[in-house]
Amino acid sequence: GAVVSQHPSRVICKSGTSVKIECRSLDFQATTMFWYRQFPKQSLMLMATSNEGSKATYEQGVEKDKFLINHASLTLSTLTVTSAHPEDSSFYICSAREGRTSGGVFGPGTRLTVL
Amino acid sequence: GENVEQHPSTLSVQEGDSAVIKCTYSDSASNYFPWYKQELGKRPQLIIDIRSNVGEKKDQRIAVTLNKTAKHFSLHITETQPEDSAVYFCAASWGVGAQKLVFGQGTRLTINP
């Protein structure tokens, strides 16, 4: 079946640094990928929709200059959290749409801790 | 935009009993309703989904019902087992092709042996 990977699985960084998270579709091409954020004991909130070869579409309230998304190929989307602060600590999960699969296939998530 | 409400937030049932989780949505244009199971620290796993042209769907011990008129859908788990303990999320999406999901708040289900 369709598989999506994320790297890294965990990252701890100092406040003010930038962190890049990769989302890869391993055995299919994904023209669209979605980035979600999940705070502890909360639901998944969509941050942005990443489209291959074009600019990402951000949800209301998500700062596009802080959360940089690049979807340079049909199998890779990256999310860069710039100038990370402790309040950015969260579980970041991507999903990739494969064919007609509605909603997409989820990656394993990246747990970001900002000290 | 779409808003999905999920109840209850926590649910505890005896092993072997049934569990029901309910969701309501606001946008009548929504046409796809998946349910996810998420274990601690892991990705959400799709367990069942239903489209707006269907009223009910069943897969072994799991079933989902959809009432388009009332804009609500429910997850039914029968003969619950300890391994069913997890957080369950409903979601809704709309349109054709790539669809973003709007999630409910989640239900923490505990199966007591």
Quote the pLDDT of residue B1: 83
- pLDDT above 70 for B90: yes
Residues of A at the B interface (Cβ-Cβ below 8 Å)? Answer: 31-32, 34, 42-46, 49, 91, 93, 95, 97, 100, 102-104, 106-109, 111
- pLDDT tens string A30-46: 888 999 999 999 999 99
The Cα of B44 is separated from the nearest Cα of chain A by a number of Å equal to 7
Euclidean distance between the first and final Cα of chain B, in Å? 41
- pLDDT tens string B44-70: 999 999 998 889 999 999 999 999 999
**What string of DSSP letters covers B36-97?**
EEE-TTS--EEEEEEETT-SEEEETTEEEEEETTTTEEEEEE-S--GGG-EEEEEEEEESSS
- From the list A31, A32, A106, the residue facing B43 with the nearest CB is A106
Task: Find tokens 């998420």 and name the residue.
Answer: B38
Average pLDDT of the segment spanning B75-103: 91
Quote the pLDDT of residue A31: 84
Interface contact B44-A106, CB threshold 8 A: yes
Interface contact B98-A97, CB threshold 8 A: yes
Average pLDDT of the segment spanning A65-71: 95
Higher pLDDT pick, A6 / A98:
A6
Amino acid at A27: D
The Cα of A79 is separated from the nearest Cα of chain B by a number of Å equal to 17
Is the distance from CB of A38 to CB of A45 less than 8 angstroms?
yes
Quote the pLDDT of residue B27: 92
pLDDT band at A48 (very low <50, low <70, confident <90, very high): very high
Interface contact A44-B105, CB threshold 8 A: no
Which residues is A21 bridged to in the sheet? Answer: A79
Interface contact B34-A102, CB threshold 8 A: yes
